[in-house]
Amino acid sequence: MPHYWLMKSEPSEVSVDDALAAPNATVPWTGVRNYQARNFMRDAMQVGDGVLFYHSSCAEPGIVGIARVASGAYTDPTQFEADSPYFDPGSKKDAPRWLLVDVQVLHKTRNLTLPELRAAPELADLLVLKKGNRLSITPVEPRHWQAILERIDAA
């Protein structure tokens, strides 16, 4: 049974349009520097899992695309690049701390905005809407996935 995820990206880093323009509409999800989010990639994500591509830290945060996990977890090279904002001097090549998965965008959607998500009673317990939740990757329950797809398609 597939799992579903919401993955946040700042459009100035990687937008849904950037991902669509990449070869095979696939990008490595670099820069995750939270252990719980890393563990989701390492321990729970499987190729083919559904992804809600979410733009954060922008004028109108929201879900802007439907994607899928396109690879298993592997070492994030940015942790070793001294000029990268994701450089981690404590991470060692023989024991890397940080991983990534490749994400393939299947299609761009209208922006299902944060206020729209908050206004939907059936999404009240969606993790991204919980107070204090700042994780860049969160699991999405199948019922939430379906409700979000229905809202996107209804527009």
Q: What is the pLDDT of residues 107-138, one digit of tens each?
A: 999 999 999 999 999 999 999 999 888 899 99
Task: Give the per-residue pLDDT at 59.
Answer: 95
**Residue-range domain boundaries for the chain:** 4-154
Give the CATH number of domain 4-154. 3.10.590.10
pTM over 0.85: yes
Phi and psi at 57, nearest 5°, equal 50, 50
Local confidence pLDDT in tens for the 155 residues of the chain: 789 999 999 999 999 999 999 999 999 999 999 999 999 999 999 999 999 999 999 999 999 999 999 999 999 999 999 999 999 999 999 999 999 999 999 999 999 999 999 999 999 999 999 988 889 999 999 999 999 999 998 76
